[in-house]
Amino acid sequence: MKKPIIIIAGPTASGKTSLAISLAKKFNGEIINADSRSIYREMDIATSKPSKQERHIIPHHLIDIVEPDESFTLSDFKQRANVAILQIQNREKIPFLVGGTGLYLNSIAYNYNLAKTEPNLTLRNELDELPIAELTMKLKSLDPITYKKIDLGNKRRLIRAIEVSSQTKTSFSDLQTKNPKPSNFLYLVLDMPREVLYDRINQRVDNWKDQGLVEETEKLMARYSTTLPSMSTIGYKEIIDYLNGTIEYTEAIDIMKKRTRNYAKRQITWFKKNKDAILIKNDLEAIKQISFLVSPETNLQKTHNQAKFNNR
């Protein structure tokens, strides 16, 4: 059997980081970040990255790999993640892909055949000036197939889809060809009651204030344009509006919570549509699933012995 690869997915604030660290310790693994915002340096608080202490416990990959003003595509992620997977496996360890960016995870699990198109910064800047409603109509006209599939609330994805489709004259969706998931992949998704998740989200946003989100945002604004895709990250975007005097601080916090909850809803919908996803509620369920993948013969023997005992 091929060496196992474990995916730990789920909505924001569901506890993926702590679960993944616990599992990686137990199963001799290393963690590959699959969150599209944790790739950026200098953006720590609103991205809820693993702490330096957590990264010391278990090696983490693909965190803090680009500057906030650098381009980083899905194809870039796929290439770097596959290199990290091979390196981890060569160390006789198990790769754990951990995050909530579904496209990142699926590009690896289903080996997407991605479009090789260079970013068009001029076009991106022009599109970024447009409201989401206008971008959706533009995409619908240009690429109706992708229009029906894409997250219409994700401005960055809308811009990328328009960019690729306009350059290649091909549907953005068609260029992301999905292949069957290999048997050595385990796709685990954290599932919890919606009200519990929303409480965790609200608490996380409240904690950002004490962690210094305003100060971190001020430092970013001093160095980078606020129109960059990275600066549209929930948390930074609202504080930028607050610092620019557009909204009050309490309003910024309320908007953050609402947008994060809505983002979590979209993530839940995405993962639950995946027929390969196995929903888990805690670490014990995850351990059981991973154990069967890592040591199938041992677990089958245990099951056989238990069945014999029960039939006595």
Are residues 122 and 50 part of one domain? no
Residue 136 domain boundaries: 115-175
Helices 194-211 & 213-223 angle (0-180, nearest 10)? 70
Q: Which amino acid is at 143?
A: D
What average pLDDT does the structure give for the chain? 90
Are residues 293 and 183 part of one domain? yes
Domain boundary among 175, 207, 226: 175
Are residues 233 and 213 part of one domain? yes
Torsion angle of the four alpha carbons 216, 101, 287, 310, in this order, in degrees rounded to the nearest 10: 150
Give me the pLDDT at residue 265, please.
96
pLDDT tens digits, 73-117 = 888 999 999 999 999 999 999 999 999 999 999 999 999 987 667
Are residues 119 and 86 part of one domain? no
Q: Taking the mean position of all CA atoms in its chain, how far away is CA 153?
A: 16
Task: Kindly report the CATH number assigned to the domain that includes residue 101.
Answer: 3.40.50.300
Asked if residue 148 belongs to a domain, the reply is yes
Asked if residue 125 belongs to a domain, the reply is yes
Three-state DSSP state, 185:
strand
Counting DSSP H helices and E strands in the chain, the numbers are 14, 6
pLDDT tens digits, 190-202 = 999 999 999 999 9
Phi, psi dihedral angles at 65 (to 5 degrees): -110, -15
Q: What is the rounded distance in angstroms from the CA atom of residue 107 to the CA atom of residue 230?
A: 21
The residue-averaged pLDDT of 12-37 equals 97
